[in-house]
Chain A
Amino acid sequence: KETQLRIEAFYSFS
Chain B
Amino acid sequence: MLELRLVQGSLLKKVLESIKDLVNDANFDCSSTGFSLQAMDSSHVALVSLLLRSEGFEHYRCDRNLSMGMNLGNMSKMLKCAGNDDIITIKADDGGDTVTFMFESPTQDKIADFEMKLMDIDSEHLGIPDAEYHSIVRMPSSEFQRICKDLSTIGDTVVISVTKEGVKFSTAGDIGTANIVLRQNTTVDKPEDAIVIEMNEPVSLSFALRYMNSFTKATPLSDTVTISLSSELPVVVEYKVAEMGYIRYYLAPKIEE
Contact = CB atoms under 8 A, between A and B. Distances in A.
A5 B126 contact: no
Nearest to B38: A14
B250 A5 contact: no
A7 B127 contact: no
Interface in B186-234: 206, 208, 232-234
Interface residues of A, number: 14
Interface of B: 40, 43-47, 124-129, 157, 206, 208, 232-234, 250, 252-257
A4 B127 CA distance: 21
Nearest to A2: B254
Given A2-B206, A2-B257, A14-B125, A7 B46 contact: yes
A4 B252 contact: yes
A4 B253 CA distance: 6
A14 B256 CA distance: 29
Nearest to B40: A7
Given A2-B157, A2-B206, A7 B126 contact: yes
A14 B234 CA distance: 18
Given A2-B157, A4-B45, A10 B252 contact: yes
Q: What 8 pairs between A and B have smallest CB-CB spacing? A: A14-B127, A5-B252, A11-B126, A2-B254, A6-B44, A1-B257, A7-B47, A4-B254
Nearest to B232: A10
Given A1-B257, A4-B45, A5-B253, A10 B233 contact: yes
